[in-house]
Structure 1
Amino acid sequence: MREIVLDTETTGLDPNSGHRIVEIGCVEMIDYSITGNYLHEYLNPERDMPDEAFRVHGLSNDFLADKPLFAAVADKFLDFIGDATLVIHNAEFDMKFINAELAKLGRPPIPMDRTRDTVAMARRKFPGAQANLDALCNRFGIDNGARTKHGALLDSELLAEVYIELLGGKQIGLSLAGDDSDDAEAQLAKPAVERTFRPPRAHAASEAELAAHAELLTRIDNPIWTRD
């Protein structure tokens, strides 16, 4: 099974407001193992870089000025991801940008049902806990010391490790109980086992048991439980 762990950096939060992708990073996984095959591109957004976005990823107007447009790498990107499932942290955000770029080129959108959202997975597995990438790296003991700023390829590499841990770590696919589910992530989505309610059994002694107990007491000399 081939999956692509994917991340983007952008000029802002909403492609409908004119914001664009400036970096895209993809890491290939096959059967839940990182293969070492990856795609990484910086992109010229054809617009200025807002200060708030620059503070997040550190990609300046000057740095991106000579980088290719998304149009120039679209085929390369689509060929790389193929028909693989896309593993994305907060998939809705990245997919709206990717599909906005594809729409500009008259290309069909990538459907959301091809994605697996690791934020949703983390929230199911750890209800109420922080689900950002740094928090999950800390939880699983994954070294993210090189992550001083957001970067699409580095974040994809870290997310691939987090994804493996969310699926059970090195034990992925091990089925000691004979579970027939078709993939490991399905285990996280399973509802709790429904338990059948059984009324408590009556514990009062029967008449015969009370009589037998009274007869036993007649054979014990001065039992303490009969004293006043």
Structure 2
Amino acid sequence: MANADLSYALTGYPLDKVVVFDTETTGLDPYGGDEIVSIGICDGYGNKLFYSLVKPTRKRSWKEAEKIHGISPQAVKDAPKIKQLEDEIRSHILGDKLVVGYNVEYDLMMLDAAGVIDEMPPARFDVMRQYAMVHGTKPARYGREGYQWSKLTECASYYGYRFPAHNSLEDSVAAAHCYRSMLADPIWANRRFSDIAAQLKRVPLKQNKTSAENVIHLVSEGATAPVPAELRLASITQGVNKGAPRYECFIDDLCVGVQGYGEMEGIGRLFMAVEQEQFPRSIKCQAIMTVTAGKAKCTASITEDGIVPEAIGGNLSNKSLPISGERADSPRDIECNSKKPPRVVARYALSALILFTALYGLTEFEPSISWLLTEIIVLLLFAFVFKWARGSSK
């Protein structure tokens, strides 16, 4: 399955509506005077859209930051100021798009502090945070759910990509690669799907005269618990949206609710469908019906998983991930293929020696307090060294 479809299924945005960006700056304090010295933007496929050096308006030097990204005051002395670039930056980032980045909140705060944007885009995806939740290293100092955040180079290496770091455009392309790779990573994608599946499977329904009468009749007959039902693909029969596709819910041959116009996104994401011919003709569901003060209501809950789990599972053995650049060994490969390092072997040997000393002491039994204390100390020392050796081998 195409990653564009998985992007839409798992985030609600296909890759052609994904924009990835990164900045290099004079420091780490967006609202304390630090400024942007370069910005790079690419699309969800990694195609480069925009890059520019930026001349700060307040800062005259940034020696610590320069050591990291190599952009000096001399390099930006003839570059445009951020105000000269804001229209083009806005054209790429704002609108109905998913804004992706590595620590994207920081980069957006830099744009906000510079006056390029007035508010944070509502749809954002932070690769750094999402990666930490499934592949982060423990123990955490500041990450979520027990994981530390990793560097972009570490995340990219895990997904088989190497690049010249601390160049805003190359960092954007690397973050786009990591985003696409996460869509094809069953560990992250299955977790994401489990978080959104219930939302996608819930189908609110509207009532017309016929469906309302059917609901009232069925409820009067005792059909209050979830009832096996079927969503059938149909079309709107009247009004300005006549002919537009929608689903209608049936219990046997009784219609108990219909979708409104433009409410097929959840089903579209669940079945990775965009065009009408891609939507399934029939979907199994359960109907939950109520009648309150004579008003009929019905909600459908889809009982099928759609095709997203199959698409995610298919990517487990899919070798055609969108990888560019030199492939690097992933931490998982290194862990599986490496032998225990010499230090670990030495620690196990020390543990064995201490244990031997304790056992030998038993053969020299002497009923005294000093002998007993010596044995206890030796055994405690063995337990400590053995635990130390085991922890180092993990």
Instruction: Please give the TM-score of this superposition, normalised by the length of structure 2.
Output: 0.40
The count of residues paired between Structure 1 and Structure 2 equals 170
Contact 1:11 1:19 in 2 (8 A): yes
Q: Which residue of 1 aligns with 2:170?
A: 154
Separation (CA, whole Å) in 2 of partners of 1:140 and 1:76: 31
2:100 to 87, 97, 102: 87
Q: Which residue of 2 aligns with 1:68?
A: 80
Contact 1:8 1:21 in 2 (8 A): yes
**Cα deviation, residue 169, structure 1:** 5.6
Does residue 152 of structure 2 align to residue 137 of structure 1?
Answer: no
- Determine what percentage of the aligned residue pairs are the same residue: 25
Q: Which residue of 1 aligns with 2:302?
A: none
1:117 to 117, 122, 126: 126
1:12 to 22, 27, 30: 27
1:44 to 55, 70, 80: 55
Does residue 145 of structure 2 align to residue 126 of structure 1?
Answer: no
In the alignment, structure 2 segments of 5+ residues that lack a partner are 1-13, 139-148, 190-268, 273-304, 313-394
CA offsets 1:18-74 (integer angstroms, 9 cap, x no match):
110111111012xxx34x241111100122222110011101111101100100010
| Aligned amino acid, residue 15 of structure 1 | P
Q: Which residue of 2 aligns with 1:99?
A: 112
| Aligned amino acid, residue 32 of structure 2 | S
**Cα deviation, residue 180, structure 1:** 6.3
**Which SS does the other structure have where 1:62 is aligned?**
coil
**Which SS does the other structure have where 1:135 is aligned?**
helix
Describe the shift of the 1:140–1:37 C-alpha distance in structure 2 as closer, same or farther (beyond 3 A): closer
Q: Which residue of 2 aligns with 1:167?
A: 183
Contact 1:90 1:118 in 2 (8 A): yes
Q: Which residue of 2 aligns with 1:221?
A: none
Aligned pairs for 1:170-185 within 5 A: 178-179=306-307
In the alignment, structure 1 segments of 5+ residues that lack a partner are 185-228
Separation (CA, whole Å) in 1 of partners of 2:75 and 2:125: 32
Higher relative contact order (CA 8 A, sep 6+): 1
Instruction: Please give the TM-score of this superposition, normalised by the length of structure 1.
Output: 0.67
Runs of 4+ in 1 over 4 A off after TM superposition: 172-175
**Cα deviation, residue 114, structure 1:** 2.4
Separation (CA, whole Å) in 2 of partners of 1:154 and 1:96: 20
CA offsets 1:102-122 (integer angstroms, 9 cap, x no match):
17xxx52234x3211111110
